[in-house]
Structure 1
Amino acid sequence: MFIALIITTALLALVAVNSAAMKLRRNEQVVATISGTVGLPERHIPTLAVLEIAGGLGIVAGLWFAPLGVAAAAGLTAYFIGAVIGHLRVGDTKGVASPIIPLVLSVAVLVLRVDTA
């Protein structure tokens, strides 16, 4: 079970940090989706990136300190639920696919971290 936790944690950390990097680099498509489609002001994009980085670091550190891993996985789960809701709120059914994979990974890490704690 711990091997599955390590693998899902590594995948989610990579996804979260990559997503944050795209936001910090002001990737044109990412900014257009977040600001244009979803309607979140651009000034909040760096905050989203920081939350993803913190979550990614937290789940990795949580491999050694379980309570931190649980908290970080719960935070990332909430973050990606918010992203899904943001897309659905504006009827962006095409764009909602982007946060679904990290949401599933977040839930998997959360369940595995709680189960192995």
Structure 2
Amino acid sequence: METASYRILKSITVLTFLLSSIFWLSSQVVSVANQTYPVKNEENQEIGTVTIPYDYAESQILFFVLMVFSGIQLWTITHLGKRIVKVEEELEFTRTIKADPDATGQRR
């Protein structure tokens, strides 16, 4: 039985992972940093070159780090979160027995 906070945390992490992956991949595709293109005149003669100066490296690094971090967080929530849910269920069972020592947690 998953608690509401566990489901919300897992949903936010999955969303973060997917968005950061999409942004990182799009920054990889769009990256045209420091590429040189020829400049031609009307007679189709090359008269020089132009370099696109904008660099996407910072956003690529940021989204890659965010993607890796959220991936690790997702793995942690998925595998270790199951243990947390078991502990919460055991605590609930213990509270039930402390409130009513004759209770066994089973239906009659």
Instruction: Give the TM-score taking structure 2 as reference length.
Output: 0.37
Instruction: Give the TM-score taking structure 1 as reference length.
Output: 0.35
Who wins on radius of gyration, i.e. which is larger? 2
- Structure that is richer in strand per residue: 2
- Structure that is richer in helix per residue: 1
